Every structure is written in C-alpha cells, then in structure tokens.
Amino acid sequence: MTVPLLVLSGLDPTGGAGLTADVAMARSLGLHPLPVPTVLTVQNSLRFSGMRPVEPAYIRSAVESLAEEFRFDVAKVGLLPIDDEVWLDEVEDILFPRCRRVVIDPILRPTAARSEIVPSAAFIRLISHPQVVITPNLRELKALASALGVTQSDPALLARDVSRVTGAAVVTTFEGEKATVLVVEKGTASEEPFTLVPTKRPVHGTGCRFSTAIACGFAQKKGLLDSVKIAIKKVAELVENREEMPSSGQDYLS
C-alpha cells in the first residue's frame, strides 16, 4: 500500500499553496496524502484578507476516523491560527500521541499578507517537541527567536539556539537570498546547497511544498538530511517549470 501522510493545513482558494499544494507534492513523491483543513482563508496571490479556523473537534474526529483505516506516524502542519491558544493546545493533543515526526511550517505571515503574527505561548509549546521539525524562512526564524528571548546575529547560531530551547530540529530557507538551506538538529548545524532559479516576482506555494517534501521523506523512513535534499531538488524542479501568470499576480507551481 502507498505510504500515507497526514496533512493539516489551510485551504487556499487560489489552489497554489496550502492544502492543495501539499496534496500535489505528496502525490508527486509517491505518497498517499490524508488532508485535513486547519483554516479556511480569504485570499488571492496578491492579498491575504483573513482566515477562519476549522473547529478542533472536527479535526480530532477526522484524524481519528483516518486512523481507523490508515497507518500513519508522520504529519505535515501548515497554516494555523497561531494566536488562538485553546485551538493550538487541542491540536497539539491530537497530533503528538500519534506521530513520531511532525513537520511544522511556521507561517507567521502568508506571502500575500501585509502584517506578521506574533507567535503565542501555545504556538511555542506546539513546536517544542523533539519529534518536531520547523521550516521557517529567515524572517520567521527571527520572529520565533524573539518570542523565545533568543538574540543572535548569525543565522546558524540563531537556528541552533532556537533548536536548543525548543528541542525541535530547524530547517531554515533564505527566500532566494542565499543558495543554501540551513539544517540544525541536536546541536549540529550544516548547510545544504541548491541552485537558485531566477524569478521576476514571488512564486506562490514554495514554502509549503518544501516542508511537505521533508515530511514525505520522514514517512518513507528517511533521515532529516536526506529528506531536505529531496525537498530542495523537488522544489527547484517545480520553480524551474513554474507557470508564469499574466499581469501582476504571483507565479504558480504546477
């Protein structure tokens, strides 16, 4: 049977990111995605207008129902209402008893949003598990570090301190500014190179697909570095073959 992957993420009506993109990535890597929505967003690729969280009771019922049929122990988690402590605590209780690895994309500001959300104490608790891998870009890493009271100027030291405080592994991307991905796990930092693909404007859905690809590697019993290498290769291929949209919108991945 195809390996299943639990995916908890936001429903992006553009189809370019969130749950739709996570499902596409998982399938392209040979897995069977089990998608459960976390929030319903109002957005296009230019503007993020808002979101409505899905009731945790529904998420619990959906995950329990899936567990009756599918054997999964890895989850990818995307957009969450990160300032809703009751919601986050309940979802934490749903996930961690079931999953040996949880990949969390800490979306503190969707690409089309105008402002960044400050991580709540409950969100910090959610990522503070040894089975967690977080995949922040550099801006998100700095916001998480600030919430944790960590101050470093060097990204590697910053990621190492965030990992030390939370117990989570940290995989940091630089949003096209640097041709490496920083990987920190158990106090050890390394950088994985990749080839930058030139783009004239933002590309919708790269971050969520990157974290999903890492989760796919875990579900296939691969380690962190091998999973990161797979994610780098796959996302680079998608960006290279992206669909260039007309006028002012972001480009989309196929």
Amino acid 236: pLDDT: 87
Domain span including residue 93: 4-252
Structure confidence by residue, pLDDT tens digits, 40-49? 999 887 888 8
Q: What is the mean pLDDT of residues 228-233?
A: 95
Amino acid 15: pLDDT: 85
Lowest mean pLDDT among 92-101, 178-187, 202-211, 235-244: 235-244
| Mean pLDDT value across the chain | 90
Q: Tell me the one-letter amino acid at 85.
A: E
Lowest mean pLDDT among 20-34, 158-172, 232-246: 232-246
More confident residue, 1 or 216: 216
Amino acid 112: pLDDT: 44
Residue 177 has pLDDT above 80, yes or no: no
More confident residue, 87 or 178: 87
Q: What is the mean pLDDT of residues 190-199?
A: 82
Q: What is the mean pLDDT of residues 86-90?
A: 95
Q: What is the mean pLDDT of residues 206-220?
A: 96
Amino acid 3: pLDDT: 97
Amino acid 161: pLDDT: 95
Amino acid 188: pLDDT: 92
CATH code for the domain in which residue 48 is found: 3.40.1190.20
Q: What is the mean pLDDT of residues 88-99?
A: 96
Question: What pTM did the predictor assign?
Answer: 0.92
Q: What is the mean pLDDT of residues 217-244?
A: 90
Q: What is the mean pLDDT of residues 89-109?
A: 93
Q: Looking at the 3D structure of the chain, how many domains does it have?
A: 1
